[in-house]
Chain A
């Protein structure tokens, strides 16, 4: 007669990784278990001893200390421990003590290894390292996200019909007839099989009729020349990002040899997604007044929440939200120019921080500045003072609130010529101190969002050169990164830290994301890498052989995992009508998310350690 150990069975069924086993497998495993009780304060395992069991906490709580000393983890009901010793043949490294009266289930090593053999899910969970575990966690997340936008190519989205095209010499009148006959709103202008430009219904209205152009003029004079294109293998999310950032509705898709294959329109994407996120981008770019821009910008958080609900990966949600933010900044500058007249000298509107890195979520304040051509005079400076003030004001109204630290184009010290900016950067780099570095790191994530890209490049190039050859500066950066309090994990409803007894709220940005950004920035600057985005910097570091590929991938995974949680948290806040922040209450995290976080923290901590070893030396 079968024995019923249903209490234990149902507990394990709800506990990772046993929840990944089949019913039969689980029933057999239950019979292998030994139950043990430990009184609060009892030592369960001692560092240096030999262990032959996987331990599962059934009730109570335990504490793990490396070599009996440094706190490694606290585990409660459902927590597994001592498997690292099984994976390395039995040697215990963490002394484990019962924090409370604790009941444990013990699974013998042989059965543990047999399960790792027979069950992929079980094996993944107990992967040898956090690196592998976090990789499988990211894999799980991606698998669970339906309709991944990175997997859908634009080629698969547009019907394979020959795009309607004409030669650059065709008259406007004939081109319009052609569009009318073929019933298309977009015309591809090609010569010798190559795309030269596109011409749309809207161009006909704005550039021909409204401008009273002669209909006999060649189409090449009124088309949009050299439009941005994408290969047909590009992902949907890339196309959406490009449309949102550029404020246009059509992207030609090119085949392998650069031949025109199709023209992707926003309508094609909308038909696929039923989402109005691109519309927001269009509204932003086409806003005729500041009021219209502000209204359009207010839709961004809602679109962000919809992206989250729609299963976008963190990477795409960040990219897309940043693209919209960039469009708002650009449009704010354009509208300010329209009010104040054309700029007296070339300039660029610079974005710093998350917007520059393309990692913006919702609820960010504004971090920006202006770089002016060195030729600017006193009157010119007054123009830019007015422009900067106007841009900052519009952005504040649009939801990119004033920056507490004053990093805004409305402030005089944020409106400098190329030379003045270079001097400022130069001071940071050549004469660093703890305090200035703390406030300066954000400036090293910089990108032009409007105006002369050349001015920004003139500034950026020498900065990278100087930073690369300044080990003292880099060591200050590396040391500054060490300020982050990366937690050990989540215990009960507290954030467990090495030094403190735990906070009630986990700041996902400050305690996990910023350190990864810091690591990537410090190393990228030390190598003269121009990339600004954290993922791009980590890739570039691995490509250049400056970081082990596996380490770079792990940091990227940790970065994405925590951002997934941040995005879900903020989307829920937006839906609830609460101002989005980064403060996640542990009570809202599932056991699985806690496991993921624990691994992510571990990866980030070892990244910081390695940064400290490699770069932070030289200053006490």
Chain B
């Protein structure tokens, strides 16, 4: 029921994009979107991560990193990372986390350019992230602000998936990206670099996929 509703919402969102009469959104809507009924092993995926300047709903994007992949592997040739220009006074605590200072934030690309770039690569792909709802919401918000309409996002959340695969772990820390990776024998990465986090999520998803039946359906893993 939830999935059916989600599919309908996504279709409606695409229609709105077409109607928005913006080049980026039109192309996004017109992409070959995989059917939720195909095996996830055949689905084109995109791991994406934002570093934000705070936790507020209107937090600014400082950095975006993404990389396309599928169950056959992650080709690093497709890795992208952009620093986003921001004129806002940075939230000190966020700076401490990301290490992206005002100087660097001022030198980045305009948000619109960054959005054009990752929306292009996300066209026809399922977003994969650890805690994917954040990325999903940010994309919708930016899309609305920049191009006039919310781009609907199909996503798989590795955090939710981890709760499904290993349901009985004690404490929420056990489900953090680094802890989940460690359980799958994946190397420790420095966190809070957008591309590095995106890659980390992509690798974790491949590891999770190896624990699922070979024919698991794409739609059954998506967050609708």
Say whether A35 contacts B203, CB under 8 Å.
yes
Say whether A3 contacts B81, CB under 8 Å.
yes
Say whether B206 contacts A6, CB under 8 Å.
no
> With a CB–CB cut-off of 8 A, which chain A residues contact B209?
37
Residue B96, interface by CB 8 Å: no
Say whether A7 contacts B196, CB under 8 Å.
yes
Residue A443, interface by CB 8 Å: no
Say whether A102 contacts B185, CB under 8 Å.
yes
Say whether B184 contacts A101, CB under 8 Å.
yes
Say whether A4 contacts B81, CB under 8 Å.
yes
Residue B115, interface by CB 8 Å: no
Residue A533, interface by CB 8 Å: no
Bound Cα distance A563, B187 (Å): 35
- Closest chain-B Cβ to A504's Cβ sits at a distance in Å of 23
CB within 8 Å of A: which of B189-208? 189-190, 193, 195-196, 199, 202-203, 206-207
- Closest chain-B Cβ to A325's Cβ sits at a distance in Å of 50
Chain A 87-119, CB-CB to B under 8 Å as 1, else 0, gives: 000000000000011110010000000000000
Say whether B203 contacts A8, CB under 8 Å.
no
Say whether A3 contacts B73, CB under 8 Å.
no
Residue B49, interface by CB 8 Å: no
CB < 8 Å: which of A2, A8, A34, A58 contacts B73? A34
Q: Which residue of A lies closest to B209 (CB)?
A: A37
> With a CB–CB cut-off of 8 A, which chain A residues contact B83?
1
Say whether A103 contacts B185, CB under 8 Å.
yes
Residue B76, interface by CB 8 Å: yes
Say whether A30 contacts B76, CB under 8 Å.
yes
With A7-B196, A101-B185 already in contact, the answer to whether A31 and B206 are too (CB < 8 A) is no
Bound Cα distance A178, B192 (Å): 84
With A4-B193, A35-B74 already in contact, the answer to whether A59 and B187 are too (CB < 8 A) is yes
CB within 8 Å of B: which of A9-39? 11, 30-39
Q: How large, as a class, is the contact surface on chain A?
A: 20 to 34
> With a CB–CB cut-off of 8 A, which chain A residues contact B187?
7, 11, 58-59, 103
Bound Cα distance A11, B196 (Å): 13
Q: Which residue of A lies closest to B183 (CB)?
A: A101
Say whether A59 contacts B185, CB under 8 Å.
yes
Residue B186, interface by CB 8 Å: yes
Say whether B77 contacts A31, CB under 8 Å.
yes
Bound Cα distance A31, B75 (Å): 8
CB within 8 Å of A: which of B95-148? 109
Residue B164, interface by CB 8 Å: no
Residue A607, interface by CB 8 Å: no
Say whether A34 contacts B76, CB under 8 Å.
yes
A-B contact pairs, 18 of them (CB 8 A): A1-B82, A3-B65, A3-B80, A4-B81, A4-B195, A4-B196, A5-B79, A5-B195, A6-B190, A6-B196, A7-B189, A7-B196, A32-B77, A35-B69, A35-B76, A37-B203, A39-B210, A101-B185
B-side residues, CB < 8 A to A, are: 65, 69, 72-77, 79-83, 109, 184-187, 189-190, 193, 195-196, 199, 202-203, 206-207, 209-211
